[in-house]
Amino acid sequence: MSDVKPLNVLFLCTHNSARSILAEALLNHLGKGKFKAFSAGSSPRENQTPNPMAIVTLEKAGISTEGLSSKSWDVFAEPNAPHMDLVITVCDNAAGEVCPYWPGQPATAHWGYADPSAGDGTDAEKLEAFTQTLYQIKRRLEIFTSLPLTSLNKLSIENTARDLAKT
């Protein structure tokens, strides 16, 4: 086992109920201890919780939902918060907002995904939208997690994460 500490990755969205939750759970699942994922929202609603369809989608894919919760990104700007190595916005609203100051100035990237909870489809159609979003996130994360941690300095993390936005 290597003594390289895991990279901390924060996924941001507006409400922290769907895309960022899917990305957090998926990276923790795929990361095999090389990565520690977190998620937060720029403006979660009062009493916001993860979207039930996100939880169902993760469970159907065999991915743990333990510990998932919706929270404000302010939590990660506090002095006792974990240091982030990479911050990825996963929705266009959060990408356009002024982020808080992140201690240590982590690398940043934007991976845009359509909101699977938007629209008035049937439950089956909504579940399919969540499944497709999970698959899209998984494609990028499988590439990202296959990289050797020792080669991921700040510049290469940022460049790699930004290049993956194009896939």
Cα–Cα distance, 82 to 35 (Å, whole number):
13
Per-residue model confidence (pLDDT) at position 27: 97
- Domains of the chain, by residue range, sit at 7-157
Per-residue model confidence (pLDDT) at position 26: 97
Stretches in the chain below the pLDDT threshold 70: 1-3, 92-103, 149-155
Helix (H) or strand (E) run with residue 9 in it = strand 7-13
Signed CA dihedral, 160, 115, 105, 39: sign only: negative
Distance (Å) of CA 163 to CA 32, 86, 103, 109, 143:
22, 14, 24, 9, 11
Per-residue model confidence (pLDDT) at position 124: 92
Per-residue model confidence (pLDDT) at position 127: 94
Q: Are 12 and 89 in contact (CB under 8 A)?
A: yes
Per-residue model confidence (pLDDT) at position 56: 97
Q: In this structure, which CATH number among 3.30.830.10, 3.40.50.2300, 3.40.50.300, 3.30.565.10 belongs to the domain 7-157? A: 3.40.50.2300
Per-residue model confidence (pLDDT) at position 131: 97
Per-residue model confidence (pLDDT) at position 37: 97
Give me the phi and psi of 11, to 5 degrees please. Answer: -100, 130
Per-residue model confidence (pLDDT) at position 163: 81
